[in-house]
Structure 1
Amino acid sequence: MYYKTMPDYHFKPFIVKGGGQEDKPYILRMAPQDDRLEFEWMDLSDRSSRTCTAYISYDNHNFEKREVQSNHVVLEVLPERDGWIFLETADGRKSNKRPFRSGYYPGKVINYNHPDDTQYEFSGRYLGDPSILRLADGTILAFMDTFAANMGMNLGFLFRSDDDGKTWNYVTDILPVCWGMLFENKGNVYILAVTKECGDLELLESLDQGETWHGIVVGRGTGQCWNMGYHKGLGPILRHNGRIWFALEYGGWGKNKFMPVIYSVGENEDLMDINNWKHTAFFTLDGSLEGAEVSWGAIEGNLVVTPQGEIVDILRHGPNKAVVLSVDKNNPEADLKFKEFIDLPIAYSKFYIQQHDGIYYAMGNASPFRNVLELYFSEDLHIWKKKKTLLDLSRYPARQTGIQYPTFFIENNELRTVLRVGFNGANSYHDSNCITYHVFTID
């Protein structure tokens, strides 16, 4: 049931062979905000080069020149405008022309991709599924992937901040990867992910804080979203009872079925030895149960420890309802058991739960849209109450505005959060054009 895979997953950057970009300047990252365009670039034929000319246009015909003397650049641009940028070296080699839109974006933009940008089209045009991790040395890492219907959904990016989230820098492309969740163990960094939608379940490891990656495949999927394979939201990774626990599902929208499953590995074992991994049976939720609202099961689970010291998986199920499954902490291969349905107004979309000072906090969207981000709290994981609204963009068109799929960690009463954002020219609320970083307070 377990397989080895190719050893290297990192590319700086990944270039499609024969696409004409192998020896050109290459824009690695963009982050428009207000009247500025921040970007990072690299000359793929001379990686030590720091100079080029940037050409910017607001009509895609007339371009103005800006001389560039660094690989990390911030340029002034006209606010609230569609624009295009490309780079040219002194010997005439040109980068891809990349579109952008300046103006207001909520939070700090880590990375941006315009819906008309084709640079990553083999994988997708939209940025999704952010994950965030504070390393032991204080560095913050942020991971995200690319997606779109009928595209590969297999390219991810890693960024880092060395100043507590004020600025962000490109680290590497990662491939194949989708829905990746960052975590640290014994000084090494890991990403639990799938290779693509409904693809294989994989674990990637970095021994140098994310610069390089190698990996193993832990379970096989079909790689076909109309069939069955591994699916996962970016739920919290749980350490409890000497093991590291991960919530996933196996299924597909084409089959209208998702089966929750819990994988785990001993925290003192070699995580890259596939023989150390165990998983529960795949759980089928009985759609005839009293309180069930959908027939396809449940997805995007959150593993948490109850006040009694047991493990439960709390999953997205209905418009305002979550399902709770019990996990046997002493037998990682034991069957999952249905516990209850609970009322949770943010459970119609992906939500994220963390415990802090004896209180459980859940972050997600107020129904029925994804343009309001709310924080709920509970003392017992059964009764949830609204704590506060964290971010309200309801004044903008709901179909074009998404502040969604939160992942966060808690420090000093602060919620260090990354969001998948569709805003300011996004294709839709769902087809997000940027990943943003936020610091919210609990109180």
Structure 2
Amino acid sequence: MKFLPLLLLTAALSLRAATVPPPPGVVIHHSPASSGLYIGSPSLCVAPDGSYLASHDYFGPKSAEFGAGRGRLYRSSDKGKTWRHVTDFDGFFWTGLFAHRGKLFLMGTDKHHGNVVIRRSTDSGKTWSNPVVLADGQWHTAPMPVIEHGGRVWRAVEDAHTGKKWGARYRARVMSAPADSDLLDPANWTISSALARDPAWNGGDFHAWLEGNAVAGPEGMLDILRVDTSGVPEKAAIVRISEDGKTAAFDPDTDLVEFPGGSKKFTIRKDPTGPGYWTLASIVPERHIGAGRPASIRNTLALLFSTDLRSWETRCILLCHPDVAKHGFQYVDWQFEGDDMIAACRTAWDDAEGGAHNNHDANFLTFHRWKDFRSLSREDDVAMPEFIPDVHETANLVIRGGPFEIAKLESGAKAFSNRNYGWQDVPSELSGASFTRLPGGVKPAIEVTAKHATVVRIATATGQKGVDVGGWKREPAEFSYTDAGRSTVEVFSRPLAAGEKVHLPGGNWTGPILIFSE
């Protein structure tokens, strides 16, 4: 009998797994949120023997990302229809696959902000050399393109040597080596001068640049970087690299361009069949503008095209989900294969355990193929599914919208669904009430209808921009949550007549937290 609860749990999970739709594409690997191991840094390459190889690393609370990163390698021998696990790597983080002159390479860092390292395989990925340190110190990157141009191979990186603050510490650089040299010999590599970002650029909205793409463009060798901004339009930065790979230059007045999806990682490749450049980017569709910082919106993947790397056109929406909090298609690495585009995606999606930790902390690695991609247009957009609201009823209220969870308000309770912040100093008169737990930084849409005449209470951080509490009365109660600033939330109320509806005010990071009795 002692095994009965376990059997019931297993049966329940199996039933849920059978009813939860799988993510789009082919699942290469699944790592549930409960594992504390989130899937990062997808990379994809076609091996010299024609097989496909895909890799990723793990990040998250149960990973070793700050000690010795861990990664995995998979192979498909049937054009991506099925995949098998090949091997694991230690000292493997932010690492990408690339092919060069009949050999395969893995290049990235050995941990979060670690040394730049490289591995080589001469047998299509069956065996690999030990990692060689090309540059020691603290470095940042992702699985970014490695290209051959002008007799050299090129790869963008960022050094993280200056300071500890995310974004501010990253300086744009490019590594290059003679194309016919031994890429495992550090002496063959040149590293360009370092460029730090200036927070005054882009009208004072320039928080970071990172995850640059080495691109041979009409203007010569370039490093095109993701730019972190507070709002739309999203931007990319074009850094110009000298022919010898030693000097980097940037003009903020001319080298910042509008780029849908530019606040998240993107991979740019030149079309091998003609003029133009392609990328896959996690754009912010119009319906989600204002739902959070652009970097936090990852639920829509689009195909983009440019003839000059400065003007970008959204050709087609390829993947999407209506929820921005726990669904994401991001960090996509891709390759041309004739008229098709093949890709590996870091995917946050539903599973038998309740889905990803959040849209960033992905639980799936998925493979995708888009046939005849050059012919795709907005007429071929996948349909955005309708948002299915969460609904919760109490004796006095009908709460509709989302995304939200219902939880108990008390000191120490988890405050947000996508952060580990906790409530503190909850007043005794509110402790034990129910509240709508929101994903922090995601703009919710919540409507409350009164079944009977009642008073509705919300809590929000009025010190944060974007919230309008006009029509709400300030109550004396307040409490806080355990972010770095110990942010204070204030309580507001308003009466509702029977049948009356109210949309809760939103727009700031904390959001409108509804406090109510069941």
Give the superposition deviation at 1:151. Answer: 4.0
Q: Which residue of 2 aligns with 1:72?
A: none
The 5 Å alignment of 1:100-111 reads 103-111=21-29
Residues 1:116 and 2:116 aligned together: no
TM-score (norm 1): 0.72
Specify the SS of the correspondent of 2:196.
Answer: coil
Specify the SS of the correspondent of 1:116.
Answer: helix
Specify the SS of the correspondent of 1:61.
Answer: helix
Task: Kindly provide the CA deviation profile for residues 96-117 of structure 1, in whole angstroms up to 9, marking residues without a partner as x.
Answer: xxxxx96421110001111112
Q: Which runs of 5+ in 2 are unaligned?
A: 285-293, 377-518
- In the superposition, relative to structure 1, how do residues 292 and 321 fare at CA in structure 2: closer, same or farther (>3 Å)? farther
Give the superposition deviation at 1:411. Answer: 2.0
- In the superposition, relative to structure 1, how do residues 59 and 143 fare at CA in structure 2: closer, same or farther (>3 Å)? farther
Q: Which residue of 1 aligns with 2:236?
A: 322
Give the superposition deviation at 1:375. Answer: 1.3
Q: 1:365 aligns with which of 282, 285, 291?
A: 282
TM-score (norm 2): 0.62
Amino acid paired to 1:108: V
Q: Which residue of 2 aligns with 1:204?
A: 119
Give the superposition deviation at 1:343. Answer: 0.5
Give the superposition deviation at 1:79. Answer: 5.5
Cα distance in 1 for partners of 2:62, 2:134 equals 25
Task: Kindly provide the CA deviation profile for residues 367-404 of structure 1, in whole angstroms up to 9, marking residues without a partner as x.
Answer: 2411110111111111111111011212xx31110111
Cα distance in 2 for partners of 1:257, 1:365 equals 24
8 Å contact from structure 1 (residues 80, 104) kept in 2 = no
Q: Which residue of 1 aligns with 2:312?
A: 384
Give the superposition deviation at 1:255. Answer: 7.3
Specify the SS of the correspondent of 1:163.
Answer: coil
Cα distance in 1 for partners of 2:369, 2:203 equals 36
Q: 1:219 aligns with which of 97, 111, 135?
A: 135
Give the superposition deviation at 1:253. Answer: 3.7
8 Å contact from structure 2 (residues 55, 72) kept in 1 = yes
Task: Kindly provide the CA deviation profile for residues 42-64 of structure 1, in whole angstroms up to 9, marking residues without a partner as x.
Answer: xxxxxxxxxxxxxxx99743588
8 Å contact from structure 1 (residues 58, 81) kept in 2 = no
Cα distance in 2 for partners of 1:302, 1:64 equals 45
| Higher alpha-carbon deviation: 204-213 or 382-391 | 204-213
Let me know the Cα RMSD of the aligned residues: 2.4
Give the superposition deviation at 1:359. Answer: 1.4
8 Å contact from structure 2 (residues 198, 206) kept in 1 = no
Task: Kindly provide the CA deviation profile for residues 7-61 of structure 1, in whole angstroms up to 9, marking residues without a partner as x.
Answer: xxxxxxxxxxxxxxxxxxxxxxxxxxxxxxxxxxxxxxxxxxxxxxxxxx99743
Q: Which residue of 2 aligns with 1:434?
A: 364
Task: Kindly provide the CA deviation profile for residues 314-359 of structure 1, in whole angstroms up to 9, marking residues without a partner as x.
Answer: 1111340111100112x12223444610001210111121121211
The 5 Å alignment of 1:11-30 reads none
8 Å contact from structure 2 (residues 48, 103) kept in 1 = no
Which has the larger strand fraction? 1
Cα distance in 1 for partners of 2:5, 2:331 equals 34
Amino acid paired to 2:363: N
Amino acid paired to 2:362: S
Cα distance in 2 for partners of 1:382, 1:305 equals 13
Cα distance in 2 for partners of 1:378, 1:211 equals 37
Give the superposition deviation at 1:291. Answer: 4.7
Q: 1:81 aligns with which of 17, 34, 45?
A: 17
Give the superposition deviation at 1:288. Answer: 2.7
Cα distance in 1 for partners of 2:94, 2:123 equals 21
Task: Kindly provide the CA deviation profile for residues 112-138 of structure 1, in whole angstroms up to 9, marking residues without a partner as x.
Answer: 111112xxxxxx611111100012221
8 Å contact from structure 1 (residues 322, 342) kept in 2 = yes
Amino acid paired to 1:212: T
The 5 Å alignment of 1:188-337 reads 188-213=103-128, 214-221=130-137, 229-251=138-160, 252-254=164-166, 256-289=168-201, 291=203, 293-295=205-207, 297-308=208-219, 310-319=220-229, 320-329=234-243, 331-337=244-250
- In the superposition, relative to structure 1, how do residues 61 and 149 fare at CA in structure 2: closer, same or farther (>3 Å)? same
Q: Which residue of 1 aligns with 2:467?
A: none
Amino acid paired to 1:418: A
Q: Which residue of 2 aligns with 1:414?
A: 340
Q: Which residue of 2 aligns with 1:147?
A: 59
8 Å contact from structure 1 (residues 410, 416) kept in 2 = yes
Cα distance in 1 for partners of 2:236, 2:10 equals 53
Larger radius of gyration: 2
- In the superposition, relative to structure 1, how do residues 293 and 413 fare at CA in structure 2: closer, same or farther (>3 Å)? farther
8 Å contact from structure 1 (residues 80, 103) kept in 2 = no
Specify the SS of the correspondent of 1:210.
Answer: coil
8 Å contact from structure 1 (residues 375, 389) kept in 2 = yes
Give the superposition deviation at 1:196. Answer: 0.8
Cα distance in 2 for partners of 1:418, 1:359 equals 22
Task: Kindly provide the CA deviation profile for residues 220-240 of structure 1, in whole angstroms up to 9, marking residues without a partner as x.
Answer: 22xxxxxxx211122211110
- In the superposition, relative to structure 1, how do residues 105 and 332 fare at CA in structure 2: closer, same or farther (>3 Å)? same
Q: Which residue of 2 aligns with 1:226?
A: none
Q: 2:349 aligns with which of 415, 420, 423?
A: 423
Amino acid paired to 2:95: G
- In the superposition, relative to structure 1, how do residues 302 and 377 fare at CA in structure 2: closer, same or farther (>3 Å)? same
Cα distance in 1 for partners of 2:74, 2:115 equals 24
Cα distance in 2 for partners of 1:62, 1:253 equals 47
Segments ≥4 residues shifted beyond 6 Å: none
Cα distance in 2 for partners of 1:58, 1:323 equals 59
Specify the SS of the correspondent of 2:187.
Answer: helix
8 Å contact from structure 1 (residues 291, 341) kept in 2 = no
8 Å contact from structure 2 (residues 213, 267) kept in 1 = yes
Cα distance in 2 for partners of 1:290, 1:63 equals 53
8 Å contact from structure 1 (residues 327, 337) kept in 2 = no
- In the superposition, relative to structure 1, how do residues 332 and 108 fare at CA in structure 2: closer, same or farther (>3 Å)? same
Q: Of the two structures, which has the highest relative contact order with CA contacts closer than 8 Å and spacing of 6 or more?
A: 1
Specify the SS of the correspondent of 2:195.
Answer: coil
Q: 1:346 aligns with which of 261, 267, 283?
A: 261
Cα distance in 2 for partners of 1:290, 1:403 equals 27
Cα distance in 2 for partners of 1:323, 1:416 equals 26
Specify the SS of the correspondent of 2:281.
Answer: strand
Sequence identity, in percent? 28
Specify the SS of the correspondent of 1:142.
Answer: strand
Amino acid paired to 2:205: E
Give the superposition deviation at 1:211. Answer: 2.6
8 Å contact from structure 1 (residues 144, 156) kept in 2 = yes
Q: Which residue of 2 aligns with 1:61?
A: 7
8 Å contact from structure 1 (residues 79, 103) kept in 2 = no
